[in-house]
Chains A and B, each alone.
Chain A
């Protein structure tokens, strides 16, 4: 049949157009690419930025290669990320490919100078995934990359993948991606946040114990925790941006409050002051219920924000004097828990509104329904008004049970 002829001809033509002219058009294959798993951005001394690439060496994990050095970190000082990639391409043998980049590390110093250009450039890049994590590191980015070595995983990429998910059960940080930060940078309802990271070192001193003991374990930020190990990556807390500049950092308990308010916490462990023994603490495992609701109203032009948070909890640690979880005791614990959490949340909220002036909890979205058009909403200037916000936090905890309590 004739058609056969056409098909053959078509195949020849198409193959020719691509193969004859295609040698120079061919995109680099899997063998010619160097895959970057993490990108670091620092402030340069002479030029604008220093870009660090953490590149995986593939042969290192096939077979019996040593565990120690699986990736290399190269830094280049340049004016922009793209030119940095170009310079780096001339240095390493393979072509840099960002399509498997898992984390973008921005140093604190760079972040405080403004990140919007960087974020827009990265978001515009086809290769970079919008779901890669943005980490603001308290040390330099290249130092961060050099010291973040997977211990429990074989692959650095998986390590970067898994590490931020710890927030699901600790609540000490949030799994924030490039897409999230881009979204909030463009938004008129909220401010941007990023993961706060750092390299934990031995020499950490336990900060002065001025707070009461319940708060101590949960008031650390990245690279402050008293973990005794080799230097390694640690994500704890959040970095808060106003416009596109870093203005503040949240420690772990504040992060937890943030997660409680935006209702993204799965579960966490919380130490609350013990109602039975002065100065002692009780650990409870908190599980938020979906019925938590936020409400924003405008009263005399200033926002009045009500947060109703309802939690269920299990008691994890008890001392022998209070073992019996009677109704009365549980009510007592609930009461203490409520007041403690309320206190923390209010502290956190006033910190964001008064000190930082940033709405990172996206309260603005509850207010948009009061406005007819986008124009009106923009003119209202929510972020500016957030400074005057009042908060009313209601926490209702209900203790269900202990865990495996055996009464002696």
Chain B
């Protein structure tokens, strides 16, 4: 009751949008300053990666856990054993051994997680140099190394370098490229969890964090879900470093910045925020960093999760970030001035901001001549409308506007419905739902029986249902075309959006005919016009109209002179006024 009251109270009380979060990509410096001032606190948080860190510190302090590594090995060992529950945890390996340095023995232990490290590397390049006695290692440990000797007035002045065990091990006994000296337990744990091995040595309060990562990982393969014919055939993998390197491979420019950060208080999932310095708008980059860094969540496993956490409006089912598994697509977006977010463990990277036009663009388009690309684009727009509206239109026309159908078609519809016992609404809902069922079943079924599901579905829907007079054959065609159209939409989440809203349009069409569909379209238009993805208007460049026109249709490759206007990039031109310089023979070096 209270909820209902509140609901109506809310409905009639107007709250201004002041409280809502607003972000717009500023065009000029003044605008940016004004924006920063007005947004106050949220604007300043942009470099708050240490904010989460300090919070963690607070947490650890309250538990009165030791932060720094103890000098005593035994205490360290006990502490680490307790921390990692080694008695239960089967894959935590602790290797105790004696270390020889300068002819002196130290007890030490290595700690790592089995399966995450490359054991050959540990054997050959960690344990071997530490345990074996080589010649250089045979000096007395207490001997100080004489750096220089000078005799004046029979007094020998020796410049002696004091022996430092930590430096000695670090400099001489670690044939490893990536070794880090840490002295906090927290950092130690991060190292172990990330697949490094740590070396504790008696008497010194420093731990060596040695990178010996050796996961079993997927190699770079073809992208599964974004196929192209004439384009690169590489796809992102689950490992963040591989993914960043794939992007680096596409963009050979030192201005490509890959900032890393960790998301999730417990999982500490590594994420990378990539942008090109000098092209991407600073405010946009800061905004992305701000959003990614200010997430109070325990764990993050995939980019899909992150997408939902950082998008502008979580209640609207439209995708507001582009998810792509193609490095070339991501690089294209980077060069255009957008920001790419990569999450470790997910082969999909996120691109911000996203607009409507991006979801009907396929990575194939840039590889094609602009005429073909435009044909495909128009086809896709058509597909969006069909996937969204066709069943709704069918039901609206058959229940309200029969005069619109050509007579011959009308009579074939009537004839096909002669012996169908259900009303049209029920018929169409039944078919839509069974179509979605087949789709879902075919997707989730084990790959061995996946094709069987398709065949069963085809038989049930295509043949048996018609023969049993459950549905009319014409409706099957409608559903089939709708399904086909929804497959033709390149973006996965966008086609989801169409699939979902299709049901709304079916109901609207059934109740109010064209008027209902108009209501639906108008409301949808209102919502889409209202939507912004990271400050970029969703329907750019049509709403609001921008003069720098880069809209639905591609211009020829030599005419794409400007970067998209809505990004307010630092470098507006992306190619010369005359990009094909060879045509102008005077300006061309003939190469001798």
Contact = CB atoms under 8 A, between A and B. Distances in A.
Answer yes or no: A and B touching, Cβ < 8 Å: yes
Nearest to A37: B407
A253 to B, nearest CB: 33
Interface stretch (B7-15, B220-228, B255-263, B274-282): B7-15
B399 to A, nearest CB: 4
Contacts of B413: 30
Nearest to B17: A2
Contact of B402 (A26, A30, A161): A30
B412 interface: yes
Given A35-B411, A58-B418, A158-B408, A30 B403 contact: no
A224 to B, nearest CB: 31
Contact of B407 (A5, A30, A158): A158
Contact of A127 (B403, B412, B418, B508): B403
Interface string A1-21: 111111101110011001100
Given A14-B512, A30-B417, A59-B415, A1 B407 contact: no
Interface string A28-64: 0111010101000000000000000000101101100
Given A155-B408, A157-B411, A97 B402 contact: yes
A99 B412 CA distance: 16
A22 B415 CA distance: 27
Contact of B11 (A9, A18, A33, A155): A9
Nearest to A61: B415
B339 to A, nearest CB: 24
A61 B414 contact: no
A100 B417 contact: no
A176 B11 CA distance: 58
B217 interface: no
B507 A15 contact: yes
B492 interface: no
B415 A5 contact: no
B interface, over-half SS: helix
Interface in B190-209: none
A173 to B, nearest CB: 22
A14 B515 CA distance: 11
A155 B519 CA distance: 37
Contacts of B516: 14, 18
Contacts of B410: 30, 35, 100
Contacts of A102: 407
Nearest to A6: B11
A15 B15 CA distance: 27
Given A1-B315, A157-B408, A157-B411, A99 B403 contact: yes
Interface residues on A, range: 35 or more
B504 interface: yes
Contacts of B412: 62
A29 B398 contact: yes
B414 A35 contact: yes
A11 B410 CA distance: 30
Nearest to B520: A11
Interface in B490-529: 504, 507-508, 511-512, 516, 519, 523, 527
A71 to B, nearest CB: 11
Nearest to B8: A9
The listed residue with most B CB atoms (<10 A of its CB), out of A14, A27, A62, is A62
A29 B313 contact: no
B416 interface: yes
B67 interface: no
B15 A2 contact: yes
A332 interface: no
A159 to B, nearest CB: 11
Contacts of A59: 415, 418
A22 B398 contact: no
Interface in B353-411: 398-400, 402-403, 407-408, 410-411
A314 interface: no
Contacts of A14: 511-512, 516, 519
A30 B399 contact: yes
A22 B425 CA distance: 15
Contacts of B579: none
Interface string B244-275: 00000000000000000000000000000000
B424 interface: yes
A3 B530 contact: yes
B414 A31 contact: yes
B399 A157 contact: no
A130 to B, nearest CB: 12
A7 B415 contact: no
Contact of B10 (A5, A26, A35): A5
A378 B281 CA distance: 73
Nearest to A1: B315
B511 A155 contact: no
A127 B407 CA distance: 13
Contact of A3 (B7, B407, B408, B527): B527
Contacts of B414: 30-31, 35, 58
A335 interface: no
Contacts of B508: 11, 15
B391 to A, nearest CB: 15
Contact of B411 (A27, A56, A161): A56
A20 to B, nearest CB: 10
Interface in B283-332: 313, 315-316
A157 B407 contact: yes
Contacts of A2: 10, 15
A157 B516 CA distance: 31
B523 A19 contact: no
Contacts of A5: 7, 10-11
A129 interface: yes
A161 to B, nearest CB: 8
A18 B523 CA distance: 18
A6 B411 CA distance: 41
Contacts of B527: 3, 7
Interface in B514-564: 516, 519, 523, 527, 530
B403 A29 contact: no
A238 to B, nearest CB: 25
A6 to B, nearest CB: 7
Nearest to B424: A29
A100 B407 contact: yes
B5 to A, nearest CB: 14
Nearest to A126: B403
Contacts of B530: 3
A59 B420 CA distance: 12
A102 B411 CA distance: 14
A62 B472 CA distance: 12
A62 B415 contact: yes
Given A62-B415, A155-B411, A27 B399 contact: yes
Given A3-B530, A11-B504, A97-B402, A30 B424 contact: yes
B365 to A, nearest CB: 33
A174 B407 CA distance: 22
Nearest to B314: A1
Contacts of B20: 1
A81 to B, nearest CB: 18
B96 to A, nearest CB: 58
A59 to B, nearest CB: 5
5 contacts: A1-B316, A18-B512, A26-B399, A35-B407, A100-B403
Given A26-B399, A35-B414, A61-B411, 14 more contacts: A2-B15, A5-B10, A27-B400, A30-B402, A31-B417, A31-B424, A33-B402, A58-B414, A59-B415, A62-B415, A100-B403, A155-B407, A157-B407, A161-B407
Interface of B: 7, 10-11, 15, 20, 313, 315-316, 398-400, 402-403, 407-408, 410-418, 423-424, 504, 507-508, 511-512, 516, 519, 523, 527, 530
Interface of A: 1-7, 9-11, 14-15, 18-19, 22, 26-27, 29-31, 33, 35, 37, 56, 58-59, 61-62, 97, 99-100, 102, 127, 129, 155, 157-158, 161
**Cβ-closest 5 pairs across A and B:** A99-B403, A62-B415, A58-B414, A58-B415, A30-B398
